[in-house]
A and B are shown apart, each in its own frame.
Chain A
């Protein structure tokens, strides 16, 4: 899954590894508080690279790797976009796929073609995450994708998520 772009990105991330790691990991490991944009920004430059390094570090507990992917929504750059699309690909870790789907919503309409196919993924929890993500994108294409999936979706919990996403348009 790691193409040349991603490899370069990770090499670049390595130069930051460790510098802000403890501070970032602590925010990612709060008991009840999802990591907030203002708290990451307060740590200064280079946090996006640190987040990508943490997300791919198998020595880091799963929840914090996933939260690193979620926190990347606050850094809507091309390298982050590439990183998230790569992590949504089938065959990757299930938790990280869900988190990548969530963060891709920050890219708006541009992410709809990347998210929509995962509404048919075999993992029901991923389908729920994608429904939530598409529900956050205020673009007709996101709505069309959700409406197209609804009649064929068999899992009640996913149907519920799609219905909610269509009903509110926002999380």
Chain B
């Protein structure tokens, strides 16, 4: 099944997996899924950490020909926060420090339980071969010593790039992995995702799967206060057949202190090609599937963008921007605390990584395309 050729069903959905109808194949890789043998894994084992917090360091050896590297430390508990604190390249230069998180070509925000560190998240800092030193800071409240590792993608960069997507049906009103493949609303969502990702140079290939876990628990994923346990636990169920895949869990709703949030990615960035962790995928709210199916496609495109290493071009309050050089930026022009779409028209409000839903087919820049095509799961 892993090496199945692409199959094309219904509208424009490309499907792989246990499908009996093989209609078409094509693309720059002759229909093959991203091969796992282009990945090289490093395992640094468990690194001791005090329960009052501290630093964790790993030397990551980037091989020749790597287009991306994702190093990670985690499993320290949902109640503790961590981030990359320093990043030192093979020449000994400190290329990132948590003291200046918005400077340079790297970014790591504070995350609970597990912190993926992805290179590149900008074209300005790429994984040159040699020994890199990653240092993570983990705050108080950890419940276990972190395990750490890294994955390197040794490959050439394609444009467009293929990306395998597992669509896991947890709770989508009236739909399962079989019926969704011919459902008009769901396929409209998929078409929207394909259109927006095409602008970023990505060609998704889909595998439809039914969720085998506790549907009653996860149909509404509840985030209560700082407790992301249910969100993290659902992502921990990810167990795809291949490593180079991004898992989308489709639920009725993510509820954050009662409010519906449209989607949420592990990270960002997500734990690319590392599965079964609290950062191993994306959860998508599908409650609008019948009302506005293209919105669900937009959510998938946006959250998948986060997983692959993209940040909001401009945050809601207009004070923070992504680390990319070619994405438009905007600020709060009228002083009401919100950089809204009207005042940011032409300045990011059309972009896939705008903070709220966009109109039409969202755009992506060359730098954004470079980042998502470079990710270890892309091919």
Interface residues of chain A, those whose CB is within 8 Å of chain B, are 22-23, 26-27, 29-35, 38-39, 42-43, 60-63, 66-67, 70-71, 73, 95, 98-99, 102-103, 124-125, 128-129, 132-133, 155-157, 160-161, 164, 170-171
B298 to chain A, nearest CB (A): 9
Chain B: interface residue total (CB-CB under 8 A): 39
Among B155-163, B252-260, B369-377, the one that faces the other chain is B252-260
* A61 lies within 8 A of B288 (CB): yes
User: Assuming A23-B340, A27-B338, A125-B252, what are 9 further A-B pairs, CB within 8 angstroms?
Assistant: A26-B338, A33-B316, A34-B257, A35-B259, A42-B338, A61-B291, A62-B288, A67-B259, A128-B222
Given contacts A31-B299, A61-B295, contact A26 B341 (CB under 8 A): yes
**A70 B336 Cβ-Cβ under 8 A:** no
B56 at the interface (CB under 8 A from A): no
Binds A, one of B10-18, B103-111, B185-193, B261-269: B261-269
- Tell which of A62, A67, A124, A125 has the most Cβ of chain B within 10 Å: A62
Given A39-B338, A171-B224, are A63 and B216 also a contact pair (CB < 8 Å)? no
- State whether the Cβ of B214 lies closer than 8 Å to any Cβ in chain A: yes
15 pairs of residues in contact across A and B, judged by CB atoms under 8 Å: A22-B342, A26-B340, A27-B338, A31-B303, A33-B316, A39-B338, A62-B288, A63-B288, A66-B287, A95-B253, A99-B260, A129-B255, A157-B214, A157-B217, A161-B222
A-B complex: 9 closest residue pairs judged by Cβ atoms: A102-B258, A34-B259, A61-B291, A42-B336, A61-B288, A61-B292, A157-B217, A29-B357, A63-B260
CA A132 to CA B260, docked complex, whole Å: 15
Within 47-103 of B, Cβ neighbours of A (below 8 Å) are at none
Closest chain A residue to B332, Cβ basis: A42
Q: Which residues of chain B are within 8 angstroms of A171 by Cβ–Cβ distance?
A: 224-225, 257
